Amino acid sequence: MRLALTATCITTLATLLATEARADTTVSTATTTPLKTSTAGNITVTADGSIAPTAGTAITIDSNNTVSSAGKITFLGVDNAAGIVGNGGLTSSITNSGAISVDETYTRTDTNGDTVLDGPYANGTNRYAIRIDGTTPFTGAINNTGALTVRGNNSAGIYVAAPLVGNFTTNTGAITVTGDNDYGVRLGAVTGNVAISSNISMLGGNDVGLALTGDVTGQVVVHGSITNTGYGSTSLPSDVTKLTAQNLQQSGAAMIVGGNVTGGVLIAAAPTDTTNTTADLDKDGIPDAGQATSTIANYGAAPGLLVGSASGPTTIGLFSGNTNGLIINGKVAGVGVYSGISATGVQIGGLGSTVTVNGGIAVGGQIAGSANGALGTGLRLGAGASTPLLTVSGSISGAASATAGGTSVGLQIDSGASLPAITNSGTISATTTAATGLATAILDKSNTLNSVTNSGVIAGLATDGTGRAIDVSGRTTAFTYTQALASSTQTTTPGISGAILTGSGDDQINISAGVVSSKMNLGAGNDTIALSGNTVAAIDAKLGDGDDNVTLSGTASYSGPIDFGAGNNTLTIGTGSGFVGQFATASGTIAVKLNGGTLAFNTGPAGASFCNLKNSFTAPSPSGAVNSPTMLCLPR
């Protein structure tokens, strides 16, 4: 035992002496020799230095040493190649401001004269600019500001398999990856923050621009652009008959958040103040003044942004200094391009596991889903997704082009999802331009949406006139729509255009400002429509068989028919307000209370007068009214 112990001590001492004696290495000229930190120590590649090996890995981190490169690392036509590779279980750091290129000489050509290049996007395989292997943590920051170019299948710009203990930042340097089954940036678990300010460009089937597959204990901030597609052309060619299966490959989502993010997710906008060159309000470690508005776009059926996982629950925590977990101040889009391909801007949940966004979702930027002869959806909350509030000050839109078969939805809440409230001061819209096809701005299939408060615009615009602003027709409890100015200083006019469909609860439509153009079907229950302020409303209302109440006050005006249905119903018209339209009721009564307002009937479809109805009317006597009631019968 004594001899064995002595041998172990000697070996350990020799190892320590070797580590202390190891010299650092600086590469300042061109070389083809690969380097390992275990023999080269801390490695620095200067701006004048370059490494161009003929195989394998240019720089391997296999000891507790660091790598900093401002030069060039290149491979050409080499499979199973990587610029910088680190191993889990080490303490190190990677700083790259230079160019890393793992490329090939192969070029695609147009073989059939349709102006779209044909053939595989790449021939090579297993190529990486920066990769961290292993299952034990790699401790240290990764900071990239250099240009990364990778062309190969089953490849990536930056691929971190090992858990990362440290911040991850990629800024300014473009990341361009071409080939199938690729990633621009793929991270596992991160103990720290993730900041993406580089522009990531992807071309290939099943590609993903940014994939966060593990838990992030800090925050995720994206200022860069992420463009992702499997298409040979992201603009519709004049002749699509010659397109090959390769030309029409589907990619994955442009960005995936598949794990918990304790510090929230921000898709960021450029700062409004660029004079302060040191401010970092979003705390991503990069001065705000030099950052741009993030643009995330996927051309294909997959979403621009996908939050959730099939393998386990996902929770997005509150973003620092904010009451929301997910903030989209940049632009996120899904574009189907080709006929029959549905598109989604943002999808949360719907993958089989729950997704919880604490605080709420705030959209100050733009979310858009645009399809050609298919379903275009802006924001979809899939089954399992839940958040208490959606706040929109920017825009959410779904669109379907003139190609037959298209439908559009601005916001869809699937069965099994939960979103109790929406506050909108921006625009939520759906537009279908085909001759027929539904357009629904807000569609709730979950029956959890209790209220919508609107000081902006909500519009469902369909060429065939079937546009729906709000569809909560599956509800069995009360729904409330409120339209009002957000403040006394608001100068824009709030409005809603399209049908409002509610369920069997006691629903309330409260509008105190703006314009309304809507066909309302409020279902069963005791429903209320209250118009006040300076509201101008063109409404065709069907109120169902409950005891319904319509109230007009201020200078509000209601133009259009009302079908009160059965029940004991009331129409109250206050001083300065007015009703011009028609009544229809099968078996109920209508009590009309004229408190100084105007009640005017226009004629029906066959020219019959609606001034003389069989149902009962009550009104205050002229002596008891502030102003004598006015009864008019106007031509239709």
Read off the amino acid at residue 45: V
Q: What are 471's two structure tokens? A: 């569809």
pLDDT of residue 614: 30
Average pLDDT over residues 58-71: 98
Taking 70 as the threshold, does the pLDDT of residue 629 lie above it? no
User: E strands, 167-244, where?
Assistant: 168-171, 175-178, 183-187, 190-191, 194-197, 200-203, 208-212, 220-222, 225-229
The answer to whether the CB of 156 falls within 8 A of the CB of 131 is: yes
Q: How far apart are CA 219 and CA 320, in angstroms?
A: 8
At which residue do the structure tokens 């053939």 appear?
Answer: 119
pLDDT of residue 18: 43
Q: What's the pLDDT tens digit per position in 98-120?
A: 999 999 999 999 999 999 999 99
Q: How far apart are CA 104 and CA 211, in angstroms?
A: 25
Q: How far apart are CA 294 and CA 28, in angstroms?
A: 36
Sign of CA dihedral 480, 486, 487, 492: negative
Q: How far apart are CA 223 and CA 203, in angstroms?
A: 21
Taking 50 as the threshold, does the pLDDT of residue 451 lie above it? yes
What whole-number percentage of the chain has pLDDT above 90?
Answer: 81
pLDDT of residue 158: 98
Q: How far is CA 540 from CA 277, 460, 570, 578, in A?
A: 55, 16, 17, 15
Q: How far apart are CA 201 and CA 226, in angstroms?
A: 6
Phi, then psi, of 288 in degrees rounded to 5: -60, -35
Q: What's the pLDDT tens digit per position in 505-540?
A: 999 999 999 999 999 999 999 999 999 999 999 999
Average pLDDT over residues 611-630: 34
Report residue 271's pLDDT band, with 50, 70 and 90 as the boundaries.
confident
Q: How far apart are CA 28 and CA 50, in angstroms?
A: 7
Q: How far apart are CA 445 and CA 470, in angstroms?
A: 11
pLDDT of residue 5: 35
Q: What's the pLDDT tens digit per position in 469-512?
A: 999 999 999 999 999 999 999 999 999 999 999 999 999 999 99
The answer to whether the CB of 468 falls within 8 A of the CB of 436 is: no
Q: What's the pLDDT tens digit per position in 578-594?
A: 999 988 765 778 899 99
The residues facing 413 across adjacent strands are 381, 444
Q: Provide the mean pLDDT of the chain.
A: 90
Q: What's the pLDDT tens digit per position in 400-445?
A: 998 888 999 999 999 999 999 999 999 999 999 999 999 999 999 9
C-beta neighbour count of 24 within 10 angstroms: 12
Q: What's the pLDDT tens digit per position in 283-337?
A: 677 777 777 889 999 999 999 999 999 999 999 999 999 999 999 999 999 999 9
- Residues 483-509 as b/e (b if ≥16 CB within 10 A, e otherwise) read bbbbeeeeeeebbbbbbbbbbbbbbbb
Greater confidence (606 vs 432) lies with 432
Per-state percent for the chain, helix, strand, coil, to nearest 5: 5, 45, 50
Q: What are 98's two structure tokens? A: 């230079």
Q: How far apart are CA 232 and CA 111, in angstroms?
A: 13
Report residue 603's pLDDT band, with 50, 70 and 90 as the boundaries.
low
Residues 6+ apart with CB under 8 A from 238: none
Read off the amino acid at residue 289: A
Q: How far apart are CA 524 and CA 473, in angstroms?
A: 10
pLDDT of residue 213: 98
Taking 50 as the threshold, does the pLDDT of residue 613 lie above it? no
pLDDT of residue 126: 98
SS3 string, 485-503, reads: CCCCCCCCCCEEECEEECC
Q: How far apart are CA 92 and CA 63, in angstroms?
A: 8
Taking 50 as the threshold, does the pLDDT of residue 624 lie above it? no
Q: What are 276's two structure tokens? A: 């302060």
Average pLDDT over residues 184-191: 98
For 66-121, the DSSP string reads -EEE-SEEEEES-SSEEEEEEETT-B--EEE-SEEEEE-S---B-SSSSSS-BS-S
At which residue do the structure tokens 């509008």 appear?
Answer: 511
E strand or H helix at 40: helix 37-40
Phi, then psi, of 14 in degrees rounded to 5: -65, -40
Residue ranges of domains in the chain: 508-519+526-541+548-636
Phi, then psi, of 388 in degrees rounded to 5: -75, -25
pLDDT of residue 628: 35
Q: What's the pLDDT tens digit per position in 109-157?
A: 999 999 999 999 999 999 999 999 999 999 999 999 999 999 999 999 9
pLDDT of residue 632: 33
Low-confidence winner among 1-5, 272-276, 332-336, 386-390 (lowest mean pLDDT)? 1-5
Q: How far apart are CA 297 and CA 295, in angstroms?
A: 6
Read off the amino acid at residue 375: L
E strand or H helix at 18: helix 2-21
